[in-house]
Amino acid sequence: MRKQIYTEKGAAPRGLYSQAIVASGPQVYVSAQGPNDPATGQRRLGTFREQAELVFQNVTTLLEAAGASWEHVVKVNVYLADDANFAEMNEVYGRFCAQPYPARTTLKATIGDSAILVDCIAVVPESG
């Protein structure tokens, strides 16, 4: 279960994220994923968009393996080697996440040869 928290007393979100999310149930913590090709295990360094799409798909694969999806994600951390890629990252992110958006932090970081890394926390739906 996840519930979006919004208050007019707080700063309004300026992007694709929620002020806060309340979650309950079993959780999955997805480690930071880079643009690694699942078939080869090798980095696939192309354009920023190509890397971002592969990273978000890699996270999707792990969420699905845990019995969850992006609709169950409550917290996302995005690490960008160059913050000039923020708008393009946000476009790709918007194809994977929908309202109510997870809480999100986006940081410029030194991340080796990758342009982007993403990790997240999701609530795994109870199977019944």
Domains of the chain, each with CATH number or no CATH: 2-6+27-123 (3.30.1330.40)
If you ran DSSP here, which 8-state letter would residue 106 be given? E
Asked whether the predicted pLDDT for residue 85 surpasses 80, the reply is yes
Asked whether the predicted pLDDT for residue 13 surpasses 90, the reply is no
Say if residue 100 is preceded by a cis peptide, omega within 30 of 0.
Answer: yes
- Alpha-carbon torsion angle 90, 91, 92, 98, nearest 10: 80
In this structure, is the dihedral angle defined by the CA atoms of residues 69, 72, 78 and 83, taken in order, positive or negative? Answer: positive
Asked whether the predicted pLDDT for residue 128 surpasses 60, the reply is no
pTM: 0.89
